[in-house]
Structures are given as C-alpha cells and as structure tokens.
Structure 1
C-alpha cells in the first residue's frame, strides 16, 4: 500500500495529519481483507466435505472492523475507525473516525 501526499492536504496539526494517515491505512487494510475473503471463498464449495455443511460459505457476508489505533506515548487510542470489507469485490469503506475518552470501572467478586 502506498500513501499519497494528498492525504495530508489541509491538515493543520500533527494530530489531524495522524488521523488522516490512519484513515488511509484503515481503508487499505479493509481493501486487503475484502480481497482475501473473496479469494478464499471462491473455492469454498470444494471444502464442503459432507452434505450437512453444504452452503456454509453463503453465510459469510463480509467483515466489519473496529480499529483502535494507539498513541505510543500514552498507550491510549488515538481514535476508533470502523471499516467494512464486503465480499464479491465490493468497495471497502471506512466509516469515520473519532477520538474518545472513556472510564471503565470493573469488579470481580
């Protein structure tokens, strides 16, 4: 995958440039995953070793990914980016990005 300089056009802060980079990388990963799913499932019918499992490959509809990119200095996510890798050579899509801060409290008794 190659990142074009145009990805960074209009970015005014290092954080915005990093977010644009992560969006581009996420889109590239979704495209790679969609391609591999298609590739593997093309020959899926030959994997039907008995009639009871016939058609299992029709139940695979793609992959939705929730990527949480980490910030090296804090170990906290820079943001969450969702992507969809569809089957049948569909167009992979990245669905926005966000920066979130959360608090998690848990207990085990």
Structure 2
C-alpha cells in the first residue's frame, strides 16, 4: 500500500500533488492500495482557514487545505473501498462514540485494479 496519511497537505498545488500521487501509484502493481488523508478546507472552513494562515506564517513547511472534491481527485482511476471518501471518524468506526468524533480530515482507501 501507498500510505499518505496527513502528508499531501504539505504538497502545494504548485508542486503538482496529483501527479506525484499518480506516479507513486503507477509504480505499484495491481492489487495495491492507496490510503490517503488530507486536512479539509470544507469542514469547519473558517476555523481551518485561520489555522492554516497561522500555521503557514509560523512554519517553514506550508500546508494546503483541500475540499472533498479536490481530495477525491487523488483516487481517480482507483476503486474506492467502502465507505468511500469520508471524514476519518466515519471510516469504519468501531463505536458510536468514535463515529461521533469531530475531525477535520477527509480520508479514503482505494484499490488499484489495472
């Protein structure tokens, strides 16, 4: 599996994150998985935008927030595993408590078939 958990937000759009992920997936055989999570721009948008601005002002490593549609693009050409692209707390939660947790990441797992 290619595991990019809370990684791609550190790749700016100018650095071609989709092409990087595509290259990684091209290098693995069919049957491999992509596991990816990304800080959202459309979950608590005002709060996360303020967080990103403050983080980027203070850190040499910059973050790029992405909405659900933008994160879904990382899985183009792959078969998403149920429950699909969801907030982390909704990806096969083990309890109602876990399912009700507030989180700020989109996450998904997809299988390469060809």
TM-score of the two chains, using structure 2 as the length reference: 0.26
Larger radius of gyration: 1
Larger RCO, structures 1/2 (Cα 8 Å, 6+ apart): 2
Normalising by the residue count of structure 1, what TM-score does the alignment of the two structures yield?
Answer: 0.27
